Amino acid sequence: MKTISTALMAGCLALATAGVAAAQDNPMVGGAAMSADKTIVENAAASADHTTLVAAVQAAGLAETLQGEGPFTVFAPTNAAFEALPAGTVETLLKPENKEQLTTILTCHVVGANAMSEAIGKMIADDGGKHTVATLGGCALTAQAMDGKITLTDENGNVATVTIADVVQSNGVIHVIDKVLLPKG
């Protein structure tokens, strides 16, 4: 697994207590209450907006990992984000012979830390407006603050906006995003 920057880990650990307090006010996602005592996979499975993500996580064999202890930060694309990919992309990726490619794409949405939006925002500010986030899939995402929201730009220039931040989980946090981020290629 790729190493997360020391600044990211320090910022996340400093806000761990704040994350527990935020769990009291978890937002609804996909019409479902998000429970801070459930794992990322359990909560995502409850969201009507994340059925494609859950199917992809299961097809890639990542469900057990993302139900593990963590901590994980998952930038979770919605069904609409997957639907915006070229026609047939999702169906092709879900085929068993494409499991490795699917795994890489999905792990480009996962950071091995509990990164709340306040910590990410601080890292962006401390780095002069942009902060590079190393993912478990080996992707480098560029985090920025735009119009009061956090955006993530992948290595291909695709920009995802965090639409729902700080959904606390028992093993990390989910930030809902509106685009699928892709590895360079």
Is residue 31 one of the residues assigned to a domain? yes
The stretch 108-112 carries a mean pLDDT of: 96
Domain that holds residue 57: 6-177
The stretch 68-84 carries a mean pLDDT of: 95
Is residue 183 one of the residues assigned to a domain? no
122-164 pLDDT, tens digit per residue, is 999 999 999 999 999 999 999 999 998 999 999 999 999 999 9
The reported pTM is 0.85
| Alpha carbons 100 and 183: distance in angstroms, whole number | 12
User: How many distinct structural domains can be found in the chain?
Assistant: 1
Give the pLDDT of residue 31. 85
Query: In 104-142, which positions are buried (b, 16+ CB within 10 angstroms) versus exposed (e)?
Result: bbbbbbbbbbbbbbbbbbbbbeeeeeebebbbbbebebb
Taking the C-alpha atoms of 162, 167, 172 and 178 in order, what is their torsion angle to the nearest 10 degrees? Answer: -30
Identity at 116, one-letter amino acid code: M
The CATH number given to whatever domain includes residue 92 is 2.30.180.10
Is residue 184 one of the residues assigned to a domain? no
| Alpha carbons 3 and 22: distance in angstroms, whole number | 27
Contact 170, 68 (CB under 8 A): no
